[in-house]
């Protein structure tokens, strides 16, 4: 057997580029094998990520197409509706199966999640499960502690090794060919979605010209800008939810809870909660932790489209309550150490209170009411004045 038959031939730049171009259409196209691609070191594949660069560049077209209230309203609405798809479908259904639905329901959910332009639900679920398995260790594809902020926010999805979906790690999803098809041809839904926005804008242009909305505005604001902002909102969880916020649970990673991130991502900001218990449908474990995705899923469950939403176990809730108490006590102790005046206040405040009570009591006993006094509301100042007048002769006698 010759050496060339056993050693892998070096992959030429042309072959890499043609493979990347083919992957624009067919995400599963890996002529050299997906395992081999996953084993490569991290490196940006510029040809493969051109659609992603184009998505960002398309936002600049806003300077040419202008703006209208309908275009802005569409961009905002599609941000929140599709953030619900990211969190409620990509994450809480496909990645963690925190609720159930029918096979048709799951296909419709995958179509809905496809409009987020965050690749296929199976790719999303595979990488997310990998994140939970290797959180903040060197294997984690998007840990800010291992790879830095920008790589965990955006860099990792441009890396060649992170493009293939490892179907062997998501067998519960890979057994549905319709889901695999949507994952493989993950550009189909985004293109149809963009075209429908363009078509909707055209209809508005023709039938409601008074709105001042054009087909190009609907494409640029509704698709390019809204989708780009949606990507970065989602990316904040990868980059910031392991850096910013509080840690209620002592998980093995550095996940954190942040109300600000929860607002941006409709509840995903309660990331430390989620790392502690991933199977629950809700990420906001307590009533004050706002979790709009959970509320939406709860409402959806009343229709019968989904069911079996999984709760947070009482033992986990109790653990969180105990951890909060311990953290409060520790914070108070730290405050006393860092700000010693707080510690002295503990002595000053009771002493001042005792002094005030004693003074009031003394005022009552040393100034008895006078029966012959015309006033019944005589105050301490008045009495002091009278006492001074009584002592006047003695005081004068001492004067020179
Ligand atoms: Zn995480
Ligand atoms: Zn998760």
pLDDT at 356 over 80: no
**Cα 227 to middle of ligand 2, angstroms:** 21
**Cα 87 to middle of ligand 2, angstroms:** 9
Model confidence pLDDT, tens digit, residues 286-342: 999 999 999 999 999 999 999 999 999 999 999 999 998 888 888 888 887 776 665
pLDDT at 10 over 80: no
Residue 397 lies in a domain: no
Average pLDDT value for residue range 368-387: 43
Model confidence pLDDT, tens digit, residues 237-293: 999 999 999 999 999 999 999 999 999 999 999 999 999 999 999 999 999 999 999
Whether the CB-CB separation of 290 and 314 falls below 8 Å is answered with no
Same domain, 139 and 258: yes
Count structural domains, the chain: 2
What is d(CA 328, CA 324) in angstroms, rounded to the nearest whole number?
6
Same domain, 282 and 378: no
Provide the pLDDT confidence category of residue 400 given band limits of 50, 70 and 90: very low
* Residues, Cβ < 5 Å to ion ligand 1: 255
**Cα 396 to middle of ligand 2, angstroms:** 89
Same domain, 343 and 286: no
Query: What is the predicted pLDDT for the residue at 358?
Result: 54
Print burial letters for 163-190: b (CB count within 10 Å at least 16), e (below 16).
bbbbbeebeebbebeebbebbbbbbebb
Same domain, 314 and 331: no
Whether the CB-CB separation of 380 and 367 falls below 8 Å is answered with yes
**Cα 271 to middle of ligand 2, angstroms:** 8
Query: What is the predicted pLDDT for the residue at 337?
Result: 76
Instruction: Please give the C-alpha separations between residue 127 and each of 132, 226, 255, in angstroms, as whole numbers.
Output: 9, 23, 17
What is d(CA 294, CA 87) in angstroms, rounded to the nearest whole number?
9
Average pLDDT value for residue range 170-177: 97
User: For residue 140, which ligand has an atom nearest its CA?
Assistant: 1
What is d(CA 148, CA 56) in angstroms, rounded to the nearest whole number?
22
Same domain, 71 and 202: yes
Same domain, 64 and 198: yes
The sign one gets for the Cα dihedral 228, 230, 231, 235 is: positive
Same domain, 278 and 359: no
pLDDT at 395 over 50: no
- Full residue range of the structural domain in which residue 82 is found: 10-318
Same domain, 243 and 370: no
Beta-carbon contacts of 63 under 8 Å, excluding residues fewer than 6 positions away, are none
What is d(CA 176, CA 367) in angstroms, rounded to the nearest whole number?
93
Model confidence pLDDT, tens digit, residues 19-58: 888 888 999 988 888 898 899 999 999 999 999 999 999 9
User: Among residues 291, 318, 345, which one ends one of the domains?
Assistant: 318
**Cα 391 to middle of ligand 2, angstroms:** 84
pLDDT at 355 over 70: no
pLDDT at 398 over 90: no
Query: What is the predicted pLDDT for the residue at 341?
Result: 63
User: Among residues 318, 351, 372, which one ends one of the domains?
Assistant: 318
Q: Regarding predicted confidence, which is higher, 349 or 298?
A: 298
**Cα 274 to middle of ligand 1, angstroms:** 8
pLDDT at 365 over 50: no
User: For residue 255, which ligand has an atom nearest its CA?
Assistant: 1
What distance separates the 2 farthest-apart alpha carbons in the chain? Answer: 130
Model confidence pLDDT, tens digit, residues 57-115: 999 999 999 999 999 999 999 999 999 999 999 999 999 999 999 999 999 999 999 99
Q: How many residues does the chain have?
A: 400
Same domain, 265 and 194: yes
Query: What is the predicted pLDDT for the residue at 350?
Result: 59
Residue 5 lies in a domain: no
**Cα 104 to middle of ligand 2, angstroms:** 24
β-bridge mates for residue 159, sequence order: 44
**Cα 279 to middle of ligand 2, angstroms:** 9
**Cα 93 to middle of ligand 2, angstroms:** 10
Query: What is the predicted pLDDT for the residue at 344?
Result: 58
Residue 4 lies in a domain: no
Residue 68 lies in a domain: yes
**Cα 274 to middle of ligand 2, angstroms:** 6
Model confidence pLDDT, tens digit, residues 178-220: 999 999 999 999 999 999 999 999 999 999 999 999 999 999 9
Start-to-end CA span in the chain (Å) = 129
Residue 331: CB atoms within 10 Å: 10
**Cα 128 to middle of ligand 2, angstroms:** 6
Same domain, 219 and 77: yes
Residue 398 lies in a domain: no
Write the DSSP assignment of 212-260 as a string of letters.
---HHHIIIIIIIIHHHHHHHHHHHHHHHTTTSSB--S--SS---B-HH
**Cα 255 to middle of ligand 1, angstroms:** 6
pLDDT at 175 over 90: yes
Residue 1 lies in a domain: no
305: DSSP letter: S
User: Among residues 263, 291, 318, which one ends one of the domains?
Assistant: 318
User: For residue 142, which ligand has an atom nearest its CA?
Assistant: 1
Instruction: Please give the C-alpha separations between residue 345 and each of 57, 327, 354, 355, in angstroms, as whole numbers.
Output: 59, 22, 14, 15
**Cα 277 to middle of ligand 2, angstroms:** 9
Same domain, 145 and 293: yes
In this prediction the pTM is 0.80
What is d(CA 395, CA 306) in angstroms, rounded to the nearest whole number?
93
Rounded to the nearest 10 degrees, the angle between the axes of helix 50-57 and helix 226-240 is 120
Residue 2 lies in a domain: no
Same domain, 215 and 357: no
Burial class (CB in 10 A: 0-12, 13-18, 19+), 285: buried
Residue 193 lies in a domain: yes
């Amino acid at each position: 057997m010759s050496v060339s038959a056993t050693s892998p031939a070096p992959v030429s730049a042309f072959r890499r580029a043609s493979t990347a171009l083919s992957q624009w259409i067919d995400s599963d196209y890996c002529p050299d094998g997906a395992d081999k691609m996953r084993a490569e070191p991290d490196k940006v594949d510029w040809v493969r990520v051109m659609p992603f660069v184009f998505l960002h560049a398309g936002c600049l077209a806003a300077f040419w197409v202008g703006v209208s209230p309908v275009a802005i309203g569409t961009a905002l609405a599609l941000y929140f509706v599709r953030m619900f798809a990211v969190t409620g479908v990509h994450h809480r259904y496909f990645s963690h199966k925190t609720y159930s639905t029918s096979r048709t329901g799951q296909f419709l959910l995958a179509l809905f999640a496809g409009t987020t332009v965050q690749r296929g639900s199976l790719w999303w679920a595979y990488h997310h499960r990998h994140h939970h398995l290797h959180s903040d260790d060197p294997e984690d594809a998007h840990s800010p502690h291992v790879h830095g902020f920008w790589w965990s926010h955006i860099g990792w999805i441009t890396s060649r090794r992170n493009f293939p979906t490892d179907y062997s790690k998501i067998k519960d999803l890979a057994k549905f060919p319709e889901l695999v098809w949507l994952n493989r041809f993950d550009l189909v839904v985004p293109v149809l979605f963009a075209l429908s926005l363009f078509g909707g804008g055209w209809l508005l242009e023709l039938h409601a010209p008074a709105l001042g909305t054009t087909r190009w505005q609907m494409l640029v604001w509704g698709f390019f800008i809204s989708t780009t902002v949606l990507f970065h909102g989602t990316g904040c969880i990868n980059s910031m939810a392991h850096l910013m916020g509080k840690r209620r649970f002592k998980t093995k990673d550095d996940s954190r809870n942040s109300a600000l991130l929860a607002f941006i991502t409709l509840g995903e900001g309660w990331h430390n909660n989620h790392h502690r218990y991933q199977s629950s449908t809700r990420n906001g474990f307590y009533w004050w932790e706002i979790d709009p995705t959970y509320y939406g899923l709860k409402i959806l469950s009343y229709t019968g489209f989904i069911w079996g939403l999984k709760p947070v176990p009482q033992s986990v809730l109790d653990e969180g309550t105990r951890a909060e108490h311990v953290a409060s006590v520790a914070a108070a102790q730290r405050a006393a150490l860092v700000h010693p005046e707080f510690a002295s206040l503990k002595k000053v405040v009771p002493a001042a209170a005792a002094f005030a009570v004693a003074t009031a009591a003394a005022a009552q006993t040393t100034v008895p009411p006078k029966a012959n006094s015309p006033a019944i509301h005589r105050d301490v100042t008045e009495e002091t004045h009278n006492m001074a007048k009584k002592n006047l002769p003695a005081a004068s006698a001492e004067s020179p």
